[in-house]
């Protein structure tokens, strides 16, 4: 068995574990920092919505010697709007200009064709109306809201409302970080981006549900034992699925990294990077949130319950008494009263003697049923 496999087996059996739950304030702090950075980037730069969402035109040139800067300046001068230019693997350019009507689109196309030195008909042009873009945005938001509602209902039925709330916190955490990275990097938001975001939300939810299932199994024995608190049992469940979650995430991230860094970066894959970036960031954030955020949030919510709070208090009190007793034995001064109390708690109650029963006198040693016996010399009396 490999070292990773042996470690996974130890974590699953509970022979070895890392206390993620006890260090949850650290994970909360890291997540808060990433969210602040994401929101700052989103507020400062905003999202560059593609023509599918706000209307505009997309021009695709044949192989050309025109630079990206020349194409951008020509498109902006002709249209009066901001333009995005991408280098394609075929040697052509993809020029995106948002907020154009039909007349302005034709003027921009003619200006680009003149700069390229080709007939206007050789410059491919796709015009998207703003009404269609608004429908795309509305449907994307509606689909996401329906997805979150259905997820919450399912988790509340399959587990409990606290786990459903924790899963939503993890999903929002992943969504904010992914959108913030998109804003900071400045990638164009396309339908491929929406597909990627919905995919990573589903993946994050899947990983969280697997962890919750094991946490539910471990914490199901809460009232039947007095050795572990709720947080400790939840941490055992989290450790039991740790290696599985990490392995699954690494296997999922490798092909996505290939799409992002090789397909889109080196080969100029164009729209590949729109979906690859959202998948890469979302998968990494989803793995982090399912381990570091979801279960600790459940523990914080559950420990507010009176029954769980009382159970944890009993466990900690008993543990403190045990540690005190061990320390007293090592010092040579055992607390007899404490031992008596523990013995009284562990001892089973004896049945009381029935009313009216006489006291049975002890039988004389050496006596016989007939009253005969032997003297000390051994002779029969």
Which sequence spans correspond to the domains of the chain?
3-49+132-307, 56-128
pLDDT band at 36 (very low <50, low <70, confident <90, very high): very high
Contact 145, 179 (CB under 8 A): no
pTM score of the predicted model: 0.71
- From the list 345, 326, 346, 319, the residue with the least C-alpha distance to 228 is 319
- From the list 173, 256, 163, the residue with the least C-alpha distance to 210 is 163
The predicted pLDDT at position 12 comes to: 53
The predicted pLDDT at position 37 comes to: 94
Contact 83, 75 (CB under 8 A): yes
pLDDT, the chain, mean: 76
The predicted pLDDT at position 300 comes to: 93
**Which phi and psi angles does 97 have, rounded to 5°?**
-130, 120
Q: Do domains 3-49+132-307 and 56-128 have the same CATH topology?
A: no
Helix or strand run (H / E) with residue 94:
strand 93-98
> How far is CA 9 from its chain centroid?
22
- From the list 262, 252, 261, 258, the residue with the least C-alpha distance to 282 is 252
The predicted pLDDT at position 293 comes to: 93
Q: With 90 as the cut, is the pLDDT of residue 4 above it?
A: no
Mean per-residue pLDDT for 249-275? 71
Q: What percent of the chain is helix, strand and coil (3-state, nearest 5)?
A: 65, 5, 25
What are residue 292's DSSP bridge partners? Answer: none
The predicted pLDDT at position 342 comes to: 43
What is the CB neighbour count within 10 angstroms for residue 211? 25
CATH number listed for the domain at residues 56-128 = 3.30.70.3400
Each residue's pLDDT tens digit, 105-160: 888 888 888 887 788 877 888 777 766 667 767 777 787 788 888 888 888 888 88
Mean per-residue pLDDT for 204-231? 87
CA–CA separation, 242 and 299 (whole Å): 17
> How far is CA 302 from its chain centroid?
18
The predicted pLDDT at position 357 comes to: 39
- From the list 90, 114, 119, 105, the residue with the least C-alpha distance to 59 is 105
CA–CA separation, 55 and 296 (whole Å): 43
Each residue's pLDDT tens digit, 67-104: 888 888 888 887 777 777 877 766 778 888 877 777 78
The predicted pLDDT at position 359 comes to: 39
Each residue's pLDDT tens digit, 277-319: 888 888 889 889 989 999 999 999 998 989 988 988 988 888 8
DSSP assignment letter at 353: P
Q: What CATH fold (topology level) applies to the domain 3-49+132-307?
A: Multidrug efflux transporter AcrB transmembrane fold (1.20.1640)
Question: Is the torsion defined by CA of 155, 160, 165, 166 positive or negative?
Answer: negative
């Amino acid at each position: 068995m490999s070292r990773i496999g042996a470690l996974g087996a130890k974590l699953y059996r509970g022979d070895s574990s890392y206390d993620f739950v006890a260090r949850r304030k650290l994970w909360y702090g890291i997540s808060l920092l990433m969210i602040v950075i994401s929101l700052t980037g989103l507020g400062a730069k905003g999202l560059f919505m593609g023509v599918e969402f706000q209307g505009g035109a997309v021009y695709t040139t044949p192989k050309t010697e025109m630079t990206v800067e020349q194409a951008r300046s020509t498109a902006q001068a002709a249209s009066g709007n901001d333009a995005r230019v991408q280098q394609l693997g075929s040697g052509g350019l993809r020029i995106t200009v948002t907020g154009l009507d039909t007349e302005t689109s034709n003027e921009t196309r003619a200006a680009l064709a003149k700069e390229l030195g080709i007939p206007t008909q050789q410059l491919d042009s796709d015009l998207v109306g703003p009404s269609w873009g608004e429908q795309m945005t509305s449907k994307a938001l509606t689909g996401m809201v329906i997805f979150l509602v259905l997820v919450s209902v399912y988790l509340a039925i399959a587990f409990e409302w606290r786990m459903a709330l924790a899963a939503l916190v993890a999903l929002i955490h992943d969504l904010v970080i992914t959108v913030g990275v998109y804003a900071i990097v400045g990638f164009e938001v396309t339908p491929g981006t929406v597909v990627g975001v919905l995919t990573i939300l589903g993946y994050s939810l899947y990983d969280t549900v697997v962890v919750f299932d094991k946490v539910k199994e471990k914490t199901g024995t809460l009232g039947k034992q007095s050795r572990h608190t709720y947080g400790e049992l939840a941490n055992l469940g989290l450790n039991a699925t740790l290696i599985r979650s990490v392995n699954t995430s690494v296997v999922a991230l490798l092909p996505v990294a290939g799409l992002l860094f090789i397909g889109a970066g080196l080969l100029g894959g164009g729209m590949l990077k729109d979906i690859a970036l959202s998948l890469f960031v979302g998968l990494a954030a989803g793995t982090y949130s399912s381990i570091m955020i979801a279960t600790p949030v459940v523990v914080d919510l559950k420990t507010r319950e009176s029954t769980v709070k009382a159970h944890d208090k009993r466990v900690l009190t008993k543990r403190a008494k045990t540690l005190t007793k061990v320390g007293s034995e090592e010092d040579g001064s055992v607390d007899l009263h404490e031992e008596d109390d523990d013995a009284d708690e562990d001892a089973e109650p004896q049945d009381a003697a029935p009313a009216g029963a006489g006291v049975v006198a002890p039988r004389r040693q050496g006596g016989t049923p007939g009253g005969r016996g032997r003297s000390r010399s051994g002779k029969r009396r």
